[in-house]
Amino acid sequence: MQAKAGQFFSSGHTNNWAVLVCTSRFWFNYRHVANTLSVYRSVKRLGIPDSHIVLMLADDMACNHRNPKPATVFSHKNMELNVYGDDVEVDYRGYEVTVENFLRVLTGRLPPSTPRSKRLLSDDHSNILIYLTGTSRWNGFLKFQDSEEISNVELADAFEQMWTKRRYNELLFIIDTCQGASMYERFYSPNLMALASSQVGEDSLSHQPDLAIGVHLMDRYTFYLLEFLEDIHPASTANMNDLFKVCPKSQCVSTPGHRTDLFLRDPGNVLITDFFGSVRKVEITMETINLTAPMVFSIEIIIKNYCNQ
Amino acid sequence: MAVDDPQAVDHCRHRGRLAALAIAVVVIAVGVPLWWKTTETYRAWLPVTQINQLAQLQLQLSVEVEVVFSRGTLTAEHQKKIDPTHTRLEEHPTTVLRYRYETRYRTATIMEEDALNQPTAAETDQSLHLLSESPCGSVVIYVVPESSTLLPEGVSVYVGQRRTALLRAGRPMRVGIGLKEVLAHLETQVQQVLKVMSFSHSDITAALSDRVRLDYSSREGLADSMRAFKSSPGYEITFSLLNPDPKSHHLHWDIEAAVQSYIQPLLSKLAPVADFSLDSQILYYAVLGVNPRFDPSLNAYTLNADSLSHVINPVEARLGSSAASSNPVLNFLLYVPDARHSPLYITDHRKYTVVSNAFSSPRWGGIMVYNVNGTELPVHINIDMTRVMGVFLAQLRLMLGVQSSTPPPGFLVGPCGPAGLADWELDRLLWSRSVENVATATTTITSLAQLLDQIGNIVINDNIAEQVSAAVASLQLAVGQLEAGNLGLALQYSKEAILHSERAFFDPSLLHLLYFPDDQKFAIYIPLFLPMCVPILLSLLKMAAEARQRRRERQDKKE
């Protein structure tokens, strides 16, 4: 009991959220959708329910006219793993994935008519995982829909707004794009940990093309990230230091980077499942209330019948 | 002609100079202000000074205490000398909190004496209620003599259903003991009672946990704060019956009646705190994600406490919730195990079965396992809602923040009454909720003001300014009511303050305009303004050069 209590208090979170965003469209950017769906699949497998995941896909690859295997999105060239699955729930799709909507989801400034599934209803005890993938041709920006960009300053400001309103307990930010490290350079809010697939000045490369589908299926960093996550199960004790080692330069060609100076806990003490899974804390109910049998209830019925006459 | 030409040329040049000057004047005097005005963002006025004042959050909580002496607790001469009112001020400079306890002393009336003559404490409590009604937030303590048989052995305080407590006087009243000593001893006992029935310093600081960085010296305090939902204007409660084996078990639960008789009274009592919406559902073929193990010693299947954390997630996907509101959802699940895994017990870490056969998850809800016995299948079961609701009610109380801390030794807490919530428990909740609301609203407003200050290009519309002013007004009223001791009004104003501040902070129009780095700003302005400004500047420079030239010529001529 003592050990459980200790674990209860160490991480300080009671629920998990995930915001997974793919920002690029067009068929040749198939790999970005596959990236996002791989992370979605891992996160669901480790326990985060759909009601706590905001999935934003800027284009539809599974039902794209050019997809030779409709209703599937594969992550490996032998078509081993269909990451689309049969219970995927996309919250923002197609043209709804814009910089404005992304910032609105993060800061909570959505119009009152927005349904619950499209909101990030986190509180001060939520651990949030944010995963972004897309193209970015230059330092400090990420392209959305090939027509607009989000800059690292806007992202840092959005996180600061989340912090002032206590919308997260701890936040893990992962980005898979060229020059990804530039996106977390400007963060200044506490309790943020960031990972990127490449440093400033480097390009993030894709993994392998599939000759039947005709496009590259995944990016290298997320491919090895998915491999790593497939070994994690809900009771696993792997920690963040293992995550930092994913995809070294020999496999990734680019150098993945990470940033932990704003994070209060030591990364070695942070479990992977603190962000990717949703291990609920439970307490046995020791006390119950002794209720008297519904004598009162029958009197109510009598009175109701009496009054209805 | 030759004579006219220089004059004409001069005239032309003079006209040209005037034109250039006029254009320059128009550009500077009219153009620049016009550009400035049209490119500035509209920012309505916000009451920043008042917000900064509120940010210091100096709260004073006032509690009215009435101490009633029954016959035999005070000697006659003490009764004559006693000061009828007494105010005690408790200050905590580190958290700028002040507590003011206004105590009134009086002797019991004849009717109260009759009530105190009842055989048991519970009956005394009931009769005392019939006599008077104490306002929200106040506490009435009846002091009974040490020899009284009302309280059982070893119990010095009995806490009743409403806002009264029975306190056994500490030492026998001997002649010669000064009034001051008697009162001082009484004071310490009264303070203990108030910590249980009203609020303690740790409760209030826990409610302020957003603003006050606590060192969680009490694990109970931390567990409480993580377990209960944060203050919200409304909650949704869902009762679900999970039947994984409909072929063998035909279940019938009268949820409507059960909710009406057991849950609704509690929710009506909590109406000042929040709005509640209730619904219920039955899920068929819904299984728990964990396989229970067979325990031969118990001849039953068991679910160990460690595996319970993995039970909730697979079920949650099927529960659903209302799409329209963003209120927190409390789920209460009743699981009837399938015939192959019956009976199913939950065991704790020491491998003992849990009596309630239920567990809960902080800020989510509770699950109870209900075993049915039936020899011939299919079994028709009428679920015993009394037992089920007893468990759910206890879990609901925990989720909503009715603290379950164990009372100090010598205290006996009476049953909580028909609504499932004693009045003093409600008062405790109201105190911590009011303080929490005030703290949250203040934090929201101050951070909004800071944000709008920091990020210069967010538009502040009039309606946001209105909401902010309304929030500030409500906050000031709430703080005032807390000072005056009107708990009900304080909670109401604090809820209004939260509503206005949240509306202001989360207004969709407050999305800051896209950030433009300086080089992009120059890239936009230069092609527009440079071609226009260059001729003006050049002509002004030329005019200045000519003027200097003429002045030099005039000086030369003079010499």
Q: How far apart are CA B223 and CA B246, in angstroms?
A: 38
Contacts of B455 in chain A (CB under 8 A): 157
Q: What is the CA radius of gyration of chain B?
A: 37
> What value does the mean pLDDT of chain B take?
83
The answer to whether B131 and B108 have CB atoms below 8 angstroms apart is no
The share of chain B scoring above pLDDT 90, in percent, equals 18
Cβ of B508 within 8 Å of Cβ of A108? The answer is: no
Mean pLDDT, chain A, rounded, equals 85
CB contact, 8 Å: B400 with chain A?
Answer: no
Tell whether A48 lies on the interface with B, counting CB pairs under 8 A.
yes
Task: Say if the Cβ atoms of B447 and A164 lie within 8 Å.
Answer: yes
Q: Which residue is closest to B515 within chain A, CA to CA? A: A154
Distance (Å) from the C-alpha of residue A216 to the closest C-alpha of chain B?
33
Residue with token string 């703080």:
B479
> Taking 80 as the threshold, does the pLDDT of residue B46 lie above it?
yes
The residue in chain B having the minimum alpha-carbon distance to the alpha carbon of residue A87 is B317
Position A212 scores a pLDDT of 84
The answer to whether B508 contacts A110, with C-beta atoms less than 8 Å apart, is yes
Integer Cα distance of B62 and B483 in angstroms: 5
Residue B460: beta bridge partners? Answer: B43
Subunit contact B226:A8, Cβ cutoff 8 A = yes
Query: In the predicted model, what is the mean pLDDT of residues A182-201?
Result: 92
Half-sphere exposure of B418 (CA within 13 A, CB side): 11
Cβ partners under 8 Å of residue A271, min gap 6: A11, A236, A237, A238, A239
Per-residue model confidence (pLDDT) at position A21: 96
Q: Measured between CB atoms, which of B386, B389, B511 is closest to A100?
A: B511
pTM of the model: 0.82
**∠ CA B491-B493-B495 to the nearest 5 degrees?**
70
Over range B324-330, report the average pLDDT.
84
Q: What is Dmax (Cα atoms) for chain A?
A: 85
User: Which member of B404, B505, B514 has the closest CB to residue A165?
Assistant: B505
Model pLDDT, residue B150: 77
- pLDDT winner (highest mean) among A2-16, B197-211, B356-370: B356-370
The pair of three-digit structure tokens given for residue B241, joined into one six-digit string = 């019956």
Task: Decide if pLDDT at A291 tops 80.
Answer: no
Comparing A181-195, B426-440, B510-524, the range with the smallest average pLDDT is B510-524
Contacts of A288 in chain B (CB under 8 A): 355-356, 358, 390-391, 393-394
Question: In which band, very low, low, confident or very high, does the pLDDT at B172 lie, cut at 50, 70 and 90?
Answer: low
Helix or strand run (H / E) with residue B105: strand B97-107
Give the one of A48, A285, A293 whose C-beta lies nearest to B386's C-beta. Answer: A293
Task: Test B356 with A123 for CB contact under 8 angstroms.
Answer: no
Diameter of chain B measured on Cα atoms: 134
Closest chain A residue to the Cα of B351, Cα to Cα: A1
Pairwise CB contact (< 8 Å): A285 & B391? yes
Please indicate if any CB of chain B lies within 8 Å of the CB of A207.
Answer: no
Query: Backbone dihedral region of B137: left (phi > 0), alpha (psi from -120 to 50 degrees) or beta?
Result: left
Which pLDDT score is estimated for B171?
Answer: 63
- Residue whose C-alpha is closest to residue B349's, from A283, A284, A1, A281: A1
Contacts of A125 in chain B (CB under 8 A): 226, 363
pLDDT for res A301? 42
pLDDT at position A1 is 38
pLDDT, position B210: 62
pLDDT at residue number B219: 52
Alpha-carbon distance values, A11 to A5, A16, A168, A238, A268 (Å): 11, 12, 13, 15, 12
Q: What does the pLDDT read at residue A4?
A: 41
Query: Chain A residue with minimal CA distance to B359?
Result: A284
Residue type at position B280: S
Question: Can you list the alpha helix ranges (DSSP code H) found in B3-91?
Answer: 4-26, 32-39, 48-55, 76-81
The minimum CA-CA distance between A37 and chain B, rounded to whole Å, is 18
Buried/exposed A146-172: b ≥16 CB within 10 Å, e otherwise: eeebbbbebbbbbbbbbbbbbbbbbbb
Confidence of residue B16 (pLDDT cuts 50, 70, 90): confident
Phi (first) and psi of residue B101, to 5 degrees: -110, 115
What tokens were used for A48? 């985060």
Residue B2: the pLDDT is: 54
